[in-house]
Amino acid sequence: EIVLTQSPATLSLSPGETATLSCRASQSVNIYLAWYQQKPGQAPRLLIYDASNRATGIPARFSGSGSGTDFTLTITSLEPEDFAVYHCQQRTNWPLTFGPGTKVDMK
Amino acid sequence: QLHLQESGPGLVKPSETLSLTCTVSGDSVGSSGYYWGWIRQPPGRGLEWIGSIYYSGSTYYNPSLKSRVTISMDTSTNQFSLKLGSVTAADTAMYYCAKHWPRFRAVSVGFWGQGTLVTVSS
């Protein structure tokens, strides 16, 4: 099973700043990594798949990069609605696994 | 527009079987190339994939739950279901049904139901 670790656990930023979130895999997942945003009381929402492809309707301020074992989600110019928990997930093979999440909260 | 709705008991007794159904509207569970799945999230914790089913009926399960899980599909009712046996308090969680994305590859979870909270308690 591929284990995903995310850092930092919490990121405290102000609106307008840039958030840089990291996800590292215990072995190569090629580009088969996705990112999700989850707000309290809501289901997760797909932001990025295949490491860098934005899902339908996702604003351009969200971007993903990386391949192999190291991946980054960047949120430029944070909007108030971007403060949430972000999960990474891989499925280069079964089982599909998720990282523990990074909380982006308001400073 | 795709909509997934979970249904089932919100309270299950220890050692019994948790049974949930996901009703799909706006799409067909038999759509060629798509996977449908179940994911759970214990209160205050991270996401855990339970298992998925391909449109053809092939199933894939989390090894940590495989001995207790069955996922099935009914194209006549456009639903897919989860059964988790011998539950304990550790199975208390929000359970989400979902559609994988993109077609044929299931590398992500593109669409989620709103989730249903299942508590295991006597």
- Condensed to tens digits (0 to 9), the pLDDT of residues B1-13 reads 999 999 999 999 9
pLDDT at position B95: 98
State the smallest CA–CA distance between residue B39 and chain A in angstroms: 10
Most distant CA atoms of chain A, gap in Å: 38
B66 vs B120: CA distance, rounded Å = 19
Chain B residues touching A40 at Cβ < 8 A: none
A43 vs B22: CA distance, rounded Å = 15
Instruction: Please answer whether residues B101 and B111 qualify as being in contact, where contact means their C-beta atoms are separated by less than 8 angstroms.
Output: yes
Residue B105's pLDDT band, with cuts at 50, 70 and 90, is: confident
Q: What are phi and psi of B109, to 5 degrees?
A: -115, 105
State the smallest CA–CA distance between residue B47 and chain A in angstroms: 6
Q: Give residue-wise pLDDT tens across range A18-49.
A: 999 999 999 999 999 999 999 999 999 999 99
Who among B46, B109, B112 is closest to A100 (CB)?
Answer: B46
